[in-house]
Structure 1
Amino acid sequence: MRAPRPKVALAAVAVAALAVAGCAESNRDEGSSESKKDTLVFGVAGDPKVLDPSLASDGESFRVSRQIFETLVSAEEGGTKPVPGLAESWTPDATGTVWTFKLRSGVKFHDGTDFNAEAVCINFDRWYNAKGLMQSPDVTAYWQDVMGGFAKNESPDLPPSLFKSCTVKDATTVDLAFTRVSSKVPSALMLTAFGIHSPKALQQYDASNVTGSATDIKYPSYATEHPTGTGPYKFKSWDVANKTVTLERNDDFSGGPKAKIKTLIYKTISDENARKQALRSGDIQGYDLVGPADVEPLKGEGFNVLTRPAFNVLYLAINQKGNPKLADLKVRQAIAHALNRQALVDSKLPPGAKVALNFLPDTVEGFNGEVTKYDYNPEKAKQLLAEAGASNLTLKFHYPTEVTRPYMPNPKDIFELLSADLKAVGINVQAIPLKWSPDYLNATTSGSAHDLHFLGWTGDYGDAYNFIGTFFDRPKDEWGYNNPALFEKFKKADTTADQAARVALYKELNADIMNFLPGVPISHSPPALVFAKDVTGIKASPLTDEKFETAEFK
């Protein structure tokens, strides 16, 4: 998951939190304890970018959208395996390119219209036939990551589309056809970006009318005021000034028991300590991205701390276009040997974090424990730099501000440790701090101005391609290299239908990546979220796909 805020004074955040909790507070004052327990306010680190998940690429947008929309394929609760969602079952044909989905019957969208096979095809046709700014990677990132291009590509840089067509067989049966066998199908269809929308609402609010420019995108009202799905909660309001998104229970939800809590409010509190203070004071009833040092104290106070399995990676990216010296493998190897990753894990990450050997965690099939390893060895780093004629190297090192991510609890602390390691072997570091969104993300994933930066990824589903394919299967500005042999091997892995053979190719790819060393995998970290002492019923998800409809006050 992309993958994605301003830091404010603690007192100011506390005041804001109190103001926003007003609806919950007024419920408390208005009467019964029953009304008091109808609202759960959950603290998050950043604002959502957009509420139409088809146009999102950041975790905070998907966090809200998951409650509003359902997908054909879902993820098992607390895990990564695909299970039925809006589709009860799916089967491929003999070629592996046409998949038949049997749909749940009796499902209604939040606007009262019926969910059926025709609605599924309208959604896929919307994505496939996108035009103009809808083809920008900043607008339809996940469609492009999974499906590639569109019916009519408007840029020569776009690849052919993996998706081919959607055919209605009957009201509850739909065929999705693809141009080739792909490891992404059906697992990728659990991505929130493939949430199914009400066709009526899409048309009524002109949902694909994205305007502006690539640097100043203007979203239609559907994406900010009228997102309409079939999920356990319905959209009520987005108060940008007060940094809250309010959802109300969908009493017609057919995907399971209806939500136990009537109102769910997401409240942005950027500062980690302010989130903790708001929980302790009762102004919020839970928050995400608990600081590593706060996990045990909060447990000791009786709060319900849930730790997600480590299903992410933090990495240092090395841009080979940014500085010609970085195209030299010995320089990249020197950087890897310079970094004391174990010290970073021990001092800055939560219990259970570990140094990364691959760009994916060891719980994913295809992990390879026999890859080339780069132990902490400053003397070897100095030697490699000397051999490359780069002993006086100066690198621009970008790092993000005003953000907390599951794989990256405190970016400034991480930057300081990594830059100190680099300086210790003679690499001069020019620090370039940038606000996370959009400045940092734009600067590091496009252009060639950056030399080093760190980013991370939380997996979307349990296939190796979702990690290493997302990073390395084609040329990308983030890394600034062209490696046709590597790209071709990725294509082979993705089109290999046999699971055992595909896993073997993933292991080879992990070895190739660590030999080529486009960057350095740093760590895998188990992020935590916390709830009030009387909130139960939520199971931690490695995909950050927690089911809030099961939450209740006890």
Structure 2
Amino acid sequence: MKKKICSILLAAALALTVTACGSSGGSTDGSTQAVTTSSESKTDKDTLVILGAENWQASLSPLKHTSTMMLHAEAIALEHLLVMDEKTQEPQPNLATEWSYDDSQTVLTVKLREGVKFHDGSDFTAEDAAASCEAYSSSQNVSGSWWADELKCKVIDDYTFTITPASGKPLGSLVNMLCSTPIMSADDLADPENTLDKRYNGTGPYKMVSFENDTATYELFDDYWGTLPKIKKIEYKYVADATTRLSALQSGEADVIERVDSDAVSVLESDSNIVVDKFLTTECKHLIPKFKMPPMNEKLVRKAIAYAIDYDGIVNDIFGGYAEKADSFISSTIWGYKAVGGVGEYDPEKAAECLKEAGYENGEGLPELNIYTSVGFYPKTKEYYEYIAACLQAVGINCKVVPLDTSSWGDVLYEETPCYMIDCGWQPSGIEPELKLNSWYAAGRISHYEPTAELQDIMDRFATETDPDKRKQILQDEYLPALAEEMPDIPIIKSMTIFGVRSNVKGLEYTSGADYIFTNVTKE
């Protein structure tokens, strides 16, 4: 019976969205439209042109955003102290060559690689590493939301420094977090308006040479300490419209496009000039209640919403299988992942029971709940939120979906009271779970949720536990179940990121956070 109801809802939802498909994150009309294809790339053989789907921020500083596209862009030029081997889930040397804890498991001593230069020609030293760690973890910066504690660093010599959590307590995520902390010049950090805000000055194989017209241009850095890639130039462009991105790939004007719509996959796969790369990433999509907007502060209302959603219908009927139902508050690519009961569970009867217990039987007494969602960035957002609204309507919860362009959506995402609920994805640059958990569930974060005393105790113990096995046990047996009990947001899907790539581009790889790995890339 459930499935029959959902089929009716799906048809209604798709009927509502058909007139707006062209602007809905690369939806059906735009994605499958016939476009003249070219067997030859129109880009230079030494240049890789990438079209991104998310808008650039006003500042390029890594300290001022948690934006997915910005993370991708800065990873082209900036490096980290460590890199994560995602197969073993163990950190490996990079700009740092050695690291070790003292007996208290609180002070981490880090030894750095010598002979490394920044793109401006200055030497990379412990002063730069220390300044970067302190700034990136600071609660005064947006990037500090990734962290469960601030860092205090002490320079020992030019190539040695120590890291101590500001609280004086151990920080279990510290070493993993160093795999996601971009290293900047201490001089740039001291003068951000003239440097960090305007350009990337890193130690990576590519240096930024210009940023204009929504395009960042990078060229090989001849003084790079490691092995240089073969591609000499990268152009990373923001293109808001999914159809425009698709057309550029098909015509050969772009080499790589991001956020391909699931409807376009079969079209691209039938084109011998294009390869489709698709894989699960660190990203999950969530419906975020704004807790300053009653009744979103009521747990039973949030649970009713969660039970009312047909997640399988979204995955199969809207995404065509190019996603997975969320069954936890973190992606299955994240360290310590475990499915948790109550997440991704479709049960309209339980939804009705929760509403009745909350005093809103059949939805009576509830206001119309608006849901803000972006279009043009995340694929299929308008379609599946119209479907979610229909699911909620079926249990008596009246909803209105309000689509926003990506920039406008980003402007209101962190506000306290712009709407009752807002759509958001979260794609951390690494597999450390705190990159998601602390960013969302610490007090005053994206939904303005305030953890209960019980949940806060679990969060604190998880943050300070340094033994990996004990950390994982806390995460799986306490933290994730406690979130399921509170339901501070509603996980919807595990995202399958889909890239379109010209077939003459060989060797392009990605991290689980969908950052590019250019080491072995060539263009034929």
TM-score (normalizing by structure 1): 0.80
Deviation at 1:528, TM superposition (A): 1.5
- Residue 506 of structure 1: aligned partner: 475
Deviation at 1:394, TM superposition (A): 2.4
Correspondent of 2:169 among 180, 186, 189: 180
Correspondent of 1:316 among 287, 294, 298: 287
CA 1:332 to 1:477, structure 2 compared with 1: closer, same or farther past 3 Å? same
Deviation at 1:166, TM superposition (A): 2.3
Could you report, residue by residue, the CA deviation over 1:72-92 in whole angstroms, capped at 9, with x for unpaired residues?
Answer: 112337886422221122111
- Residue 158 of structure 2: aligned partner: 171
- Residue 42 of structure 1: aligned partner: 50
In 1, Cα distance between the equivalents of 2:439 and 2:114?
Answer: 34
Number of equivalenced pairs: 482
In 1, Cα distance between the equivalents of 2:353 and 2:490?
Answer: 19
- Is structure 2 residue 207 aligned with structure 1 residue 234? yes
Structure 2: gaps of 5 or more residues: 1-21, 31-40
Q: Which amino acid aligns with 2:51?
A: G
In 2, Cα distance between the equivalents of 1:465 and 1:384?
Answer: 30
SS in 2 for 1:313: strand
1:30-179 equivalences in 2 (<5 Å): 36-49=44-57, 50-76=59-85, 81-124=90-133, 136=140, 140-146=141-147, 148=149, 162-168=150-156, 170-178=157-165, 179=168
SS in 2 for 1:42: strand
In 2, Cα distance between the equivalents of 1:72 and 1:350?
Answer: 40
Deviation at 1:235, TM superposition (A): 0.9
- Residue 516 of structure 2: aligned partner: 546
Correspondent of 1:287 among 257, 279, 293: 257
Could you tell me whether the CA contact under 8 Å between 1:399 and 1:412 is conserved in 2?
no
Deviation at 1:232, TM superposition (A): 0.9
Deviation at 1:41, TM superposition (A): 0.9
Could you report, residue by residue, the CA deviation over 1:60-117 in whole angstroms, capped at 9, with x for unpaired residues?
Answer: 2121111111111123378864222211221111111111212111111111111122
Q: Which has the higher mean CA deviation after the structures are superposed, 494-503 or 381-390?
A: 381-390
Q: Which amino acid aligns with 1:223?
A: L
Deviation at 1:434, TM superposition (A): 3.2
Q: Which amino acid aligns with 2:171?
A: S
In 1, Cα distance between the equivalents of 2:152 and 2:88?
Answer: 30
Deviation at 1:197, TM superposition (A): 2.2
Structure 1: gaps of 5 or more residues: 1-5, 14-23, 29-35, 149-161, 208-219
Deviation at 1:46, TM superposition (A): 2.7
In 2, Cα distance between the equivalents of 1:52 and 1:427?
Answer: 41
CA 1:80 to 1:43, structure 2 compared with 1: closer, same or farther past 3 Å? farther
Could you report, residue by residue, the CA deviation over 1:290-341 in whole angstroms, capped at 9, with x for unpaired residues?
Answer: 11122233223132222233322111222343113x4443322221221111
Q: Which has the higher mean CA deviation after the structures are superposed, 266-275 or 360-369?
A: 360-369
The alignment-based identity, stated in percent, is 26
Q: Which amino acid aligns with 1:447?
A: E
In 2, Cα distance between the equivalents of 1:515 and 1:389?
Answer: 19
Deviation at 1:363, TM superposition (A): 4.1
CA 1:58 to 1:261, structure 2 compared with 1: closer, same or farther past 3 Å? same
- Residue 32 of structure 1: aligned partner: none
RMSD: 2.8
- Residue 417 of structure 1: aligned partner: 387
In 2, Cα distance between the equivalents of 1:9 and 1:401?
Answer: 8
Could you tell me whether the CA contact under 8 Å between 2:229 and 2:519 is conserved in 1?
yes
- Residue 345 of structure 2: aligned partner: 375
Could you tell me whether the CA contact under 8 Å between 1:309 and 1:541 is conserved in 2?
no
Deviation at 1:234, TM superposition (A): 0.8
Could you tell me whether the CA contact under 8 Å between 2:126 and 2:159 is conserved in 1?
yes
Could you tell me whether the CA contact under 8 Å between 1:315 and 1:454 is conserved in 2?
yes
1:231-380 equivalences in 2 (<5 Å): 231-240=204-213, 243-255=214-226, 257-302=227-272, 303-324=274-295, 326-349=296-319, 351=321, 353-372=323-342, 375-380=345-350
In 1, Cα distance between the equivalents of 2:187 and 2:437?
Answer: 38
In 2, Cα distance between the equivalents of 1:176 and 1:472?
Answer: 25
In 1, Cα distance between the equivalents of 2:135 and 2:429?
Answer: 22
